[in-house]
Structure formats: structure tokens, C-alpha cells
Chains A and B, each alone.
Chain A
């Protein structure tokens, strides 16, 4: 080019000067940083650009905010969690908490790369935190070997952004509900400082999705519950008397034989990760299969059916966690406009990805602040209401507990999770709503594992 040739000396001098300018010289030693450590990140924080978020202002302080102040919570230290921790730490986040209630199992080792054979049995959160903290100096990941339900608002309030790498829809919904409960309204107007963004990632085999949720503003988990269809089960009659496929034989053992024979002791649940359990199921399934001349029962099919798993793929977790971490970075730094708001990814056949804006549901039970209507005739039995709560695609509750205010007192109509109360309230299921003393317009409060707050419903009698 015309002005490309600069004298060697001058070029070298300028380069040295530039070195100083590109590297943040002030905080070199105190935080254990070395020259050039954050070069890749800084280009997005200290330079203006044509596609940045309208609120973005280049500054050297942004990096300090990420390093010293910004607090991120990672939920899950499994396939997605390990990737998330690594990605966040290498993007400049240092104050990270991670919650996971599991311990490490041998089956995790082929993708949860922070764990080694010697770690089996230890809590995932602890081992993940140790590994990241030692590999990435200055990073301080604080582990919590707990369930998300063990914490309340005081814990969750302290974070700037929460990112989930969960494998359970119930847990997602609970988290979603928790963040909804933190929202505060001034005269019906949402206070933006009470919003904690939730980045949610999920994977299943070669498919995955990443989404950005701004509680109170964008679609929440419950708004799009129909995207998670309930699992299809084989009909009981097929399993019990007319099996045709090896899967039917395995389900037969899982559903009927195991509870009957309790091969590993009273009340011991079938554990898909326990090879002895699977071995037992496998042999019994083979016996059943040979009775019906069915072929194809293998150990790995047995395990797949028992765990209902689609095998996890390291690369899908990598992609989704990277997308999520990128969103965390964008939101924390205002560097770019965040994903709006749902990314779908699939690389089983070539590479497919698609983004759309999931819409808020007007009457979403979790985020709409409107009491849901329950329409039943007064002659309907409480059992029907219970079934509706569990089977309806937008509610999908697991074991709802229903209470109502009757004659000025709070009365539990039905509760499943405590045996004594279940027994006491069971007769109510076969009583009609009228018999139970419920009236039109009555408020029913429903509690369930899918949400930390009770959901209010309004009973509307139909004729």
C-alpha cells in the first residue's frame, strides 16, 4: 500500500508504546494478572464499534467491573456447568458461585471435563470450583453442594446474572419462579433494578437451546412450557401382556418387576447410574424377551431406557454453554445487544441454528401476575381439578397441594407430599367442589415443586 512502508526503528518504537497502551498496566501484580492476559477480552470493552449496544461506552473500567464486582451464579456443575465455569472465567468473570446437589459419577467423566476418576464420589460443585480456581489464577469460584431450593431470596438477590445449565425442567421452573418473586413494582411499574437476567441453556444429544430471560420483561420459562412436551410412555397393556419391542420388556422390569421384587432392599429405588441395578434389569428383561421371542435387549439399550437418556454429547454442551456465556458477557458489559431471545441448535445433520423471539404469554402462571382461572362445574370432583393441574400443557404441575380459605381459615384440600396429610385429605378428592364448600370466585392457592411461590387460581363455576 502507499503508506505501508515505515522505517524499522520507528515501527518498533511505536509497537513498544502500543504494547503499553494495549495492556492495562495499573493492575498487573495485585490481581495476579500477567501481560496480555486480557487482550482478547479488552478489545470488546475498550473500543467503540458500529454494532455495540446503544448504552455501550468504551472504558478501561469495564474490565475492572467484570474482574472485581460482577457476581455471577451458575446453576449446575455438570456437562453445561463445567463449560460455563470455564467460559466465564476466561471472559474475565472472577466472582462466580456454583450450585449443584450431585456427586461425581463415573458416567460423567466423558464430558464433564473438570472431573477425573479420582474425584468420583465428591461433590461436583466442590471439584469444579477447585479445578477452575487452580487453572485460572485470580478466579474465585465458590461452590455450594446444595439444592437450589435450599436457598432463599437473600442468596439469589446478590447476583447480577444467573445462568442455568440444568437437566431438569422442574428445577428450571423453580428458578424462574424465584426470580419472578424478586421483582418489585412501584405503582404497577416494574423496577428495572429488581430484574436479574436469567440465561438458560439445555441440551439433548445433538440438539440444544440457549435463551435469555429478563424476568418481568421477556417470555419466561413457563410462558413457553409447551416447548417441553411431557414424555411419552408406553401403554400399560402393551408392557404387561403384549410386548413387541425390547423396550417394552425393559419397561416391564422397571415398572412392574423392580417394585415387586425389590432386589436391592426395601424401598431402594432403581438407579440408572448403578451398574448392578442395570445388570439386574438387563437380565430380567432378557428373560421376558425370550418368553415372547423378542430380540434386541442389550445392556446399553437397558440403560438408555431406564435413564430415558439421550446420550450426552460433549460438543453440544460446548456450543450451548458458549452461547450462554457470550450472553452473560454481553449483558454484563453492554458490549452488544443480547440474544432476543431463544436460540435453537442442531448438528445431527450438517449444522442448523435458528433464533426467534419467544413471546410472553398473557396469562402465564409464573410471570403474568394475574390469578389463573380454573373453570369447573360445582359438581366436579376435586380429583378432576388435580388432574387438570398436572396434565394441562401450560401448567404441568408435579404434585400440587391445594389450599383454600374457608370460613376465615386456611384449609388444605389435598396435599400429596406428606404421607399423613395425604391420607387425611385423600377423601376430599372424591368430593365435589360444592360439597367442599367452595364458591364461585373462590381463590385457591396451589403449591408445587415447580415454583417457589404458591400460584393463585380463581375458581369459576361453569353451568
Chain B
């Protein structure tokens, strides 16, 4: 029986790795398994978030929590049981989360974050990501400052009644695999490289048997007809709608006809015609990628420079020399009607060129590494290939520090004021959250926790709202309804909202750890009482 479990567990471990890496790539899966995440406060939000990290196999987690589990805590938290009441919340939650996945290393520290910040702030430096859940404002700001200076990403999460809130504070988040939905192909039809030119040359459309004619890849067809077009149009690409229409006609006239002059059914030609628009897009480097090349980090390479920037610099150098102004060839082509041999030969032309380009980029990487005294193995061939393949989609996200957000001078007043022109926009939730923190500062408690407090606290909370608006010079109106609503919440953490936020936050955490796709630009919040909406500050 035990052996069967062991066999299943091993198989399952392999399966789990495989299935997860289909989501984030092998690269991402490795990053996940090497990550160590710190979650502060094992409230329902914290444990739900952790559940969603433990299940796909995060390397390790550490819960920091100085509280004992209360009856209220156990009532909304799946990872605390009735036996946990009165015991260390950190320990109880760790045990129940640990059993979700024995490959994950679960740890806990029975201490408040404030104490740790007092005695050992460097404790937090070891983590790939720190997630603060239901933190008091002062703790949040203290922690934020420490992590900002240490370059450790910080995600602050909060469930307050029906409102969920997430705030990402990381100096810089570089993204290599950004999965854009409408990515254009990299076909180089406007600037064919030598090997592509030669390959196109090897076809003679005017002298082909029907079955070969009908199974020639559309890329070849467009290339061939482009040559014809160049001869008659002074080597200029079809530019406007009219010219593209003429170009399409030119291709259409190339469709074989039967003995009665009726055009045959040549789907590959139809594909060519359909793709003319995008196929003739000029090959160029996007503004966002150019900004990366022009960035400071790209210019000043030191031994501290992260791999992303070294590779970016290498690609930039490639663009300025061997690339002739273009990024390394991506190397992929879309599927298209063709016989296997023609398709694969064409695919190989692009693939081999991409490999060549990547090798040239690698040489630049090597000499950059050498120039700062780092071994060439610091950046693997695999990393470089991935980088080159995604060169057109590189992204860098910068967040503002919490300190900036909270300072009177640098708060984004205009953004807030214009949002508040519609008084029910999500920005009001942000202002309310800031106000209840202010309330807490003044009264050492949150508004409306006990039934009898609700009505009284409305007035007190309103004063906090007004003083906040005044201090920041915000000339906006916050409706009384929201003040009432936030008193009604009484700082509750309903499980469904905690679970919703836990799902969103875990996904953002994974993106941060695996350097995948674009993550939130600082903040997201939404409410549950009307259907979920999002806002960005």
C-alpha cells in the first residue's frame, strides 16, 4: 500500500512538473521551484494565496505571523481547524498548507513583522518575494522601505469587507515572455536575408506541376510576386490600400486555370492574398524595445547588472552591427497550406537563421561578461536563445515606491481627481482604504468592528476622510454611502473575497517570480458588491 503511494507520488511529482511547465515553460517552472516566498499573516487571504502557490509547486514558503488563532480566524480560514484556536496561527496554517504538497518546504516564524523589522530587517532579504497580508499602514510602509532598498519585490494585499486590494512595489520587473495576443510574425519579406532570398529563388512558379503549385507556402508566393511588383514599381513596397489591392490582384492572377480558363482551387494562393496586409508590414523595432535599448541600465554594464540587461545590450550591439538595424530573426513561421517538404524546408531557413543570429548575440554576451569579469556560463545558451526569440516583446515595468505614493508631494493628485469626477469609480475605494488606516492610527482600531460602533464611527470616519483629502490637497467629494459601507464592513474578511484575492495575488506572484507577462501596474482593486471591476493607480 505504502509502495503504491510512493510510486504514485513520484509519478505525480513528475506529472505536476510537466503540467505546470506547460503553463509557464520549463524556464518558469524552474524559477518557481527555486523561489522562496514570505507571507506575512496567515489570515484567510494569506492562506488562500499560499494554497495557490503550494499546489503548483513553489520551492518554499515562510509564514511570518505573531498572532494566536482566534475563533473568528478559524471561522473563515480553511487552513486553520478548531484545534488551532489559541495556538500559533503561523504554525497551524503551515502544517495544513504543507500537506497539500510534500515537495514544498513550509516554514514559519512566530513573530510580528514589526519585531523582525526592529531586530533583524535583513531577515527579509532572502526571499524572492514578500507578500504582506492585512498589514497596518505603518508596518506596511516600514516593510516597504526595507524591501525597496534591498530590491526585493513586495506585494501588499488586503481584503476589507467586499473590497480586495493589491499593491505591487518592485523597482523593476523585467519580462522576457510577455505573450502578446496579437503578435505579428517576423517574416522579413520586406528585407529578406540572403538565405531566404536564395530559397525563394529556388522556386519557379511559372514552371510547376499543379500539385506543387498548389502546395507552395504562401510566404514564397508573396515573395515571388513582390519581386514582380518591384520590377514594375521602382523597388517600392505596396504602400496604401489601392496598391495593396493591385498587389493582391497580381497574386490572384497567378492562380492556375484549367483548360476552360476557370481558376483552380488553390487555397495556398488564397492564403497569400489574405495575408498580404500583415506580410508586408515593414520590419522594425518597436518603440518599447527601443526604449529598453536606450535605457541607462543598458548603457552602463557592471558586474552587478542582471542578465536581462546584459542580454539587452548584446542584442543592441547585434542590431547595430551584424543585424543591420534589425533584431535577431525570431525563427518561427505560422502554419500554412503546403506539402510537408516545402513547409519544413522553409521553416528550416528561418530556424537556421535564428540560430545563427542567436550565436552572434551570444558572442556579444560573452565579451560583455568578460568585460565585467564574469564567467561566460553566467548566462546560458538557452537563456540567450529565449531572449532572442522574444526580443520583439521585451518589457520592463517600473513601480513607484510606497514612500512615493504616500508622500504629499508625489501622490498622483491629477489622476485621483480626474477619476473622482465619476464619484462611483474605484478610486473612491482607494481613498476609503487610506481613510480607515488613518482611523486606525487615531483610534487604535478599525471602524465598526462591533455592532454598537457602526453608527458612531460613521461620523469619525468621515472626519478621517476629510483630513486625508485636505492633507493631500485633493478637491474631491467622497459620498457618505461609502463611508457608511466601510463602517458596515467592520474590518471583516469574508472568505469568498479572501479567496478571490488569493487567486489573483497568487497569479501575480507567479508572474513576478517567473518573469512572465505583464503584471499589474502597481495596484488593482475591486469590489464584490457590484460585479468585479478593476482600477489602476
Using a CB–CB distance below 8 Å, which chain A residues touch chain B? 1, 4, 14-15, 17-19, 21-22, 34-41, 43-44, 46-51, 83, 86-87, 90-91, 106-107, 109-111, 113, 116-118, 120, 135-137, 205-206, 242-245, 275, 292-294, 299-300, 303-304, 311, 313-319, 321-323, 325-326, 329, 336-337, 339-340, 343, 345, 347-353, 355
Q: B55: which of A40, A111, A292, A355 is its contact (CB, 8 Å)?
A: A111
Q: B481: which of A21, A50, A118 is its contact (CB, 8 Å)?
A: A50
Query: What A residues does B508 contact at CB under 8 A?
Result: 347, 351
Structural contact, B531 and A340, CB atoms closer than 8 A: yes
Q: Is B82 an interface residue (CB 8 A)?
A: yes
Structural contact, B179 and A349, CB atoms closer than 8 A: yes
Closest residue of B by beta carbon distance from A137: B82
Structural contact, B18 and A43, CB atoms closer than 8 A: no
Structural contact, A315 and B451, CB atoms closer than 8 A: no
Query: What B residues does A275 contact at CB under 8 A?
Result: 11
Q: Which of A136, A348, A351 has the most CB of B within 10 A?
A: A351
Q: How far is the CB of A209 from chain B (nearest CB, A)?
A: 11
Query: What B residues does A318 contact at CB under 8 A?
Result: 48, 51-52, 499-500, 502-503, 506
Q: Can you list 24 A-B pairs with a CB-CB distance of less than 8 A?
A: A36-B71, A36-B72, A43-B489, A44-B492, A50-B482, A51-B529, A91-B496, A110-B19, A110-B101, A111-B55, A135-B78, A244-B336, A313-B507, A315-B510, A316-B503, A318-B500, A322-B500, A336-B528, A337-B529, A339-B531, A348-B517, A349-B518, A350-B519, A352-B534
Q: How far, in whole Å, are A339 and B533 apart by their CA atoms in the complex?
A: 12
Q: Is B70 an interface residue (CB 8 A)?
A: yes
Query: What B residues does A35 contact at CB under 8 A?
Result: 71
Structural contact, A86 and B78, CB atoms closer than 8 A: yes
- Given the interface pairs A18-B452, A49-B488, A343-B531, the reply to whether A244 lies near B15 with Cβ below 8 Å is no
- Given the interface pairs A44-B494, A51-B481, A351-B520, the reply to whether A110 lies near B533 with Cβ below 8 Å is no
Query: What B residues does A313 contact at CB under 8 A?
Result: 23, 56, 507
Among B485-519, those with CB < 8 Å from A are 485, 488-490, 492-497, 499-500, 502-504, 506-508, 510, 517-519
Closest residue of A by beta carbon distance from B85: A34
Q: How far is the CB of B366 from chain A (nearest CB, A)?
A: 27
Using a CB–CB distance below 8 Å, which chain B residues touch chain A? 5, 8-9, 11-12, 15-16, 18-23, 44, 48, 51-52, 55-57, 70-72, 74-78, 81-82, 85, 99-101, 161-162, 178-181, 215, 335-336, 338-341, 343-344, 347, 442-443, 449-454, 460, 463, 480-482, 484-485, 488-490, 492-497, 499-500, 502-504, 506-508, 510, 517-521, 524, 526, 528-534
Structural contact, A243 and B74, CB atoms closer than 8 A: no
Structural contact, A91 and B443, CB atoms closer than 8 A: no
- Given the interface pairs A113-B100, A350-B521, A352-B534, the reply to whether A292 lies near B344 with Cβ below 8 Å is yes
Query: What A residues does B490 contact at CB under 8 A?
Result: 43, 47
Structural contact, B528 and A326, CB atoms closer than 8 A: yes
- Given the interface pairs A43-B488, A322-B497, the reply to whether A355 lies near B452 with Cβ below 8 Å is no
Q: How far is the CB of B337 from chain A (nearest CB, A)?
A: 8
Q: Which of B343, B442, B488, B521 has the most CB of A within 10 A?
A: B488
Q: How far, in whole Å, are A40 and B72 apart by their CA atoms in the complex?
A: 7
Structural contact, B78 and A90, CB atoms closer than 8 A: yes
Q: A292: which of B21, B23, B340, B518 is its contact (CB, 8 Å)?
A: B340
Structural contact, A90 and B52, CB atoms closer than 8 A: no
Structural contact, A91 and B495, CB atoms closer than 8 A: yes
Q: A106: which of B12, B23, B70, B463 is its contact (CB, 8 Å)?
A: B12
Query: What B residues does A325 contact at CB under 8 A?
Result: 496, 499
Closest residue of A by beta carbon distance from B463: A1
Q: Which of A34, A300, A313 has the most CB of B within 10 A?
A: A313
13 other A-B residue contacts (CB within 8 Å) besides A14-B452, A40-B76, A109-B16: A1-B443, A1-B460, A18-B451, A47-B451, A50-B482, A110-B15, A110-B19, A135-B78, A293-B344, A323-B496, A349-B180, A350-B520, A351-B504
Q: What is the interface of chain B mostly: helix, strand, loop, or mixed? A: helix
Structural contact, A323 and B532, CB atoms closer than 8 A: yes
Q: How far, in whole Å, are A135 and B8 apart by their CA atoms in the complex?
A: 25
Closest residue of B by beta carbon distance from A50: B481
Query: What B residues does A293 contact at CB under 8 A?
Result: 340-341, 344
Q: How far, in whole Å, are A106 and B10 apart by their CA atoms in the complex?
A: 10
Q: How far, in whole Å, are A87 and B494 apart by their CA atoms in the complex?
A: 10
Query: What A residues does B489 contact at CB under 8 A?
Result: 43
- Given the interface pairs A322-B503, A347-B504, A351-B534, the reply to whether A120 lies near B178 with Cβ below 8 Å is no
Query: What A residues does B452 contact at CB under 8 A?
Result: 14, 17-18, 21
Query: What A residues does B178 contact at CB under 8 A?
Result: 349
Q: How far is the CB of A91 from chain B (nearest CB, A)?
A: 6
Closest residue of A by beta carbon distance from B71: A36
Query: What B residues does A106 contact at CB under 8 A?
Result: 8, 11-12, 15
Q: How far is the CB of A324 from chain B (nearest CB, A)?
A: 9
Structural contact, B75 and A38, CB atoms closer than 8 A: yes
- Given the interface pairs A18-B450, A318-B506, the reply to whether A37 lies near B344 with Cβ below 8 Å is no
Q: How far, in whole Å, are A333 and B394 apart by their CA atoms in the complex?
A: 48
Structural contact, B450 and A21, CB atoms closer than 8 A: yes
Q: How far, in whole Å, are A303 and B492 apart by their CA atoms in the complex?
A: 44
Q: How far is the CB of B116 from chain A (nearest CB, A)?
A: 27
Q: How far, in whole Å, are A34 and B99 apart by their CA atoms in the complex?
A: 25
Query: What A residues does B530 contact at CB under 8 A?
Result: 51, 336-337
Q: How far is the CB of B134 from chain A (nearest CB, A)?
A: 12
Query: What A residues does B341 contact at CB under 8 A?
Result: 292-293
Closest residue of A by beta carbon distance from B493: A40
Q: How far, in whole Å, are A35 and B74 apart by their CA atoms in the complex?
A: 10
Query: What A residues does B520 contact at CB under 8 A?
Result: 350-351
Query: What B residues does A326 contact at CB under 8 A?
Result: 496-497, 500, 528
